[in-house]
Amino acid sequence: MSDMSDTPDATAPPALEAVGVTKVFPGVIANAGVDLALRRGEVHALLGENGAGKSTLASILTGLYRPDAGELRMDGAPVTLKTPRDGLDRGIGMVHQHFRLVERFTVTENIALGDKRLPWRWSAAKVRTEVQQLAGRYRLPIDPDAIVGELSVGERQRVEIVKVLYRGAEVLLLDEPTAVLTPQEADALFVTMRALADDGRAVVFISHKLREVMAVSDVVTVMRDGAVVDAVRTTDTDPEALARAMVGRSVDLSTRWARAAPGEPVLKLAGLRLDAVDGRGRLEDIDLEVRAGEIVGVAGVAGNGQRELAETIAGLRRPDAGTVQVLHRDITGVRPSQARVAGLAYVPEDRLGTGLAPSLSVTENLQLTRSLPFLIDRRGGLAHATEVIERFDVRTTGPSAAVGTMSGGNAQKVLLARELDVRDGLTRAIVVAAPTRGLDVGATEFVRDLLDARRAEGCAILLISEDLDEVRALSDRIVVLSEGRIVLRRDAADAEVTELGLAMAGQAAPDDSPDEPSDEPSDNLGGPR
């Protein structure tokens, strides 16, 4: 471990400390002798891939799990946390990635919920005042009387933060808090995190996004395979070193652009319109062309029509107006199987449940979108699965393993192997939604390599994602979808995060740029590779 003597209050014992914490699950050592010191006044980033043990450690720190070995200390004194409530009572609060709010309750009601200090007949006004004070102090703008179900994701997150603060949390753990936010919302969250630390609280930022960790944290602890592999002050490190520590080898997650000029238009959307059902799922006047050998990224905040766009193209929804063409063939509203025959592959964002059937085997899932003979060729399927497992390095017990038992990254490999491993040469257009969501750095690199390779082979790829970093990493052109409309179109080289973020938040100037750039964006061609 590096020297941490320049911490604001290095002499004082840490607010919360894990000493030699070990947690074993069947077949997995989730935490192996982990040491972690959370000091007041610091934002402490906990960095690691999926399965590195971050969530387990967080669960131990908050009292959800008890360590099998090692101990927790608060201000130097050993403590045993029996339940999360026990942790909360001692001032350790967690903001979960998946919010735990009652949608039909107001903000104040949600915050008061489960507070045992309140009498049977509690005074909403009193809680409300306290909520407003906390919200003002830490720049967390929320309306205490709003119904939670009507709030945006970012607002709900602020409610969760205020909720743990209201309970008197001195140590705050935020689990992947930026995953659901726009860049601007993320920046606002960083300001809040800083304010909390400055106020003498210890803040833990759990993430696998290097850029954000570099931007907000004072100290970084990197975990891999259940153990701490690096613990440094943020100023003493850089993203490359962190990535190396996290993955155990060097990785290339740099931006990649097409190396050749794109060819003819392959996927063509013209005037696509989908009318709202119950005020949701609207698409309006979508005009978009994706040419052979390019990736067009669709950015946007969740719920702005991304799923509808993907499903309309893939034949799962019939548009109310407009056309979808693959290689001049009209596939508007045809069955998904016919869209596939026309050369369209679709990787849905929901892997287990839509892209894959969880309790079916790897072999069977690889056949899901293939046309099958009446009698299934079991031996051929098994051989194909064995070969895919080998070539894509899928970690599984074998071709007969149910995909639901596999990790997200490995399940995604099975899905991509089916949809993107197109050696028959028929697939010309690919719609991929959130292909690296929830994947660790190693798997992300793998998926990006694969998409890049398909682009180089001349596939037209539409990449739909709520993760702006993901969109920016691969796309040659970027469009922003907001409330079912394309509100911004930019060449990737000219796209600025601020502008994209504002457009995602629905604050952009009207889209006035032409769909296709008149001349080739030659400055793209020599993009960093």
Span interacting with another protein, options 58-66, 189-197, 426-434, 479-487, rule CB under 8 A? 58-66
Is 452 a binding residue for another protein by CB under 8 A? The answer is no
**Residue 385: Cβ-neighbour burial (10 angstroms; 0-12, 13-18, 19+):** buried
Closest distance to another protein from the beta carbon of 68 (Å):
4
Per the CB < 8 A criterion, the answer to whether 289 and 462 are in contact is no
Distance, C-alpha 463 to centroid of its chain: 14
Span interacting with another protein, options 2-10, 165-173, 262-270, 403-411, rule CB under 8 A? 403-411
Structure-token pair, residue 83? 């339940």
Measure the CA–CA gap between 57 and 90, rounded to whole angstroms.
Answer: 17
Closest to another protein by CB, 134 vs 227, is 227
Which parts of 266-325 interact with another protein (CB under 8 A)?
A: 314-316
Structure-token pair, residue 5? 């003597």
Closest distance to another protein from the beta carbon of 297 (Å):
22
Which parts of 344-363 interact with another protein (CB under 8 A)?
A: 346, 348, 350, 352-360
Is 426 a binding residue for another protein by CB under 8 A? The answer is no
Closest to another protein by CB, 201 vs 307, is 307
Closest C-alpha to 406, from 420, 392, 421, 387: 392
Closest distance to another protein from the beta carbon of 143 (Å):
35
| Binding track over 360-399 against another protein, x by CB under 8 A | x---x--xxx--xxxxx-x----------------x-x--
Which parts of 171-200 interact with another protein (CB under 8 A)?
A: none
Is 401 a binding residue for another protein by CB under 8 A? The answer is yes
Tally Cβ neighbours within 10 Å of residue 518. 5
Span interacting with another protein, options 24-32, 153-161, 238-246, 463-471, rule CB under 8 A? 24-32
Closest distance to another protein from the beta carbon of 304 (Å):
21
Q: Which amino acid is at 163?
A: K
**Residue 116: Cβ-neighbour burial (10 angstroms; 0-12, 13-18, 19+):** exposed
Which parts of 212-251 interact with another protein (CB under 8 A)?
A: 224-227, 229, 248-249
Measure the CA–CA gap between 84 and 471, rounded to whole angstroms.
Answer: 37
| β-pair partners for 323 | 270
Cβ-based neighbours of 316, under 8 Å, separated by 6 or more = 336
Structure-token pair, residue 92? 């350790």
Closest to another protein by CB, 184 vs 369, is 369
The SS3 assignment for 19 reads strand
Closest to another protein by CB, 214 vs 316, is 316
Measure the CA–CA gap between 122 and 86, rounded to whole angstroms.
Answer: 22
Cα pseudo-dihedral 46, 48, 54, 55, rounded to 10? 120
Closest distance to another protein from the beta carbon of 264 (Å):
27
Closest to another protein by CB, 249 vs 423, is 249
CA dist 170 to 206, 283, 419, Å?
17, 45, 48
Span interacting with another protein, options 50-58, 209-217, 450-458, 482-490, rule CB under 8 A? 50-58
Measure the CA–CA gap between 476 and 405, rounded to whole angstroms.
Answer: 36
Residue count of the chain: 529
**Of 53, 154, 305, 343, the one binding another protein by CB under 8 A:** 53
Which residues in this chain contact another protein in the complex, by CB under 8 A? 22, 24-30, 32-33, 50-56, 59, 65-66, 68-69, 224-227, 229, 248-249, 314-316, 335-338, 340, 346, 348, 350, 352-360, 364, 367-369, 372-376, 378, 395, 397, 401-402, 405, 407, 409-410, 440
